[in-house]
Amino acid sequence: MPFLMANLIFIFHFYRIMKIFITRHGETLENRAWIFQWHIDWTLSDDGIEQAKKLALRLSGEEIDIIYCSPLWRTKDTLKQIQEYKAATEVIFTRDLVERDAWDATWKKWDEVDFTVAKWVETNEALRKRAWEFLDEIMRNHSSWNILLVTHWWFIKWLFAYIHNIPEPEMVWRYASNNCSLSLIEIEWSKLKEIYFNDTSHI
């Protein structure tokens, strides 16, 4: 019994709730004009850089163990500002976090796209699967770590839809994230809890 108690004390002493911070990249000129970029690679606007700087300052007070980032330029530009405060933090670039793609909607504005007939390169089910498989992977590999994801609008939407088991038709109108907003999920004993979503108080 003393051995068991000692092990329990050890576990609880070193146990830490896992935190996943999630941010969308800073504004691009195409974002400002409500034009879909998908995988077209553009850098941040001047306002987007300022947003990223404010996000970086907000994150400077958070302990981050590892950063996962989409390899597209708009997320890399956002990460560059974050690294002003997190230069020593390991970064992994992964296409698991890239934006969704729809070849017939690229360079079109929101009001020009009919989402019911858009020719998605990645289906809703495939994107949902990508989101939950990535979440499952980091939960297994980084239990009790604090993680930052630098990613995109559609990935964030489907990640939270999965967490809350939101059906597809309802999901389309929920979980829209602003540029450089911050969301937080906590995971304790494999249970996921949304702490906040799309917080822009720092911008």
133 known member of a binding site: no
Mean pLDDT of the 66-87 span = 97
Backbone angles phi, psi at 77, to 5 degrees: -65, -40
**Residue 183 · residue 168 · CB < 8 Å:** no
In a domain? residue 108: yes
Report the pLDDT value the prediction gives residue 12, as an integer from 0 to 100.
45
Q: Measured between alpha carbons, how far is 62 from 119 in angstroms, rounded to an integer?
A: 40
In a domain? residue 78: yes
pLDDT at 6 over 60: no
Report the pLDDT value the prediction gives residue 92, as an integer from 0 to 100.
98
- Predicted confidence (pLDDT) per residue in 22-56, tens digit: 999 999 877 776 556 556 667 899 999 999 999 99
pLDDT at 121 over 90: no
In a domain? residue 166: yes
**Residue 179 · residue 48 · CB < 8 Å:** yes
In a domain? residue 5: no
Pairing of strands 191-199, 182-188: antiparallel
25 known member of a binding site: yes
**Residue 172 · residue 115 · CB < 8 Å:** yes
Report the pLDDT value the prediction gives residue 104, as an integer from 0 to 100.
57
31 known member of a binding site: yes
CATH classification of the domain holding 50: 3.40.50.1240
Q: Measured between alpha carbons, how far is 196 from 22 in angstroms, rounded to an integer?
A: 10
27 known member of a binding site: yes
In a domain? residue 7: no
30 known member of a binding site: yes
In a domain? residue 34: yes
Q: Give me the domain span that covers residue 60.
A: 17-199
In a domain? residue 139: yes
Whole-angstrom CA distances from 101 to 21, 24, 86 are 24, 16, 30
pTM for this prediction: 0.84
24 known member of a binding site: yes
- Predicted confidence (pLDDT) per residue in 145-203, tens digit: 999 999 999 899 989 988 888 876 566 667 889 999 999 999 988 789 999 999 999 99
Report the pLDDT value the prediction gives residue 4, as an integer from 0 to 100.
44
Angle, helix 124-141 to helix 153-163, in steps of 10 degrees = 70
Structural domain count, the chain: 1
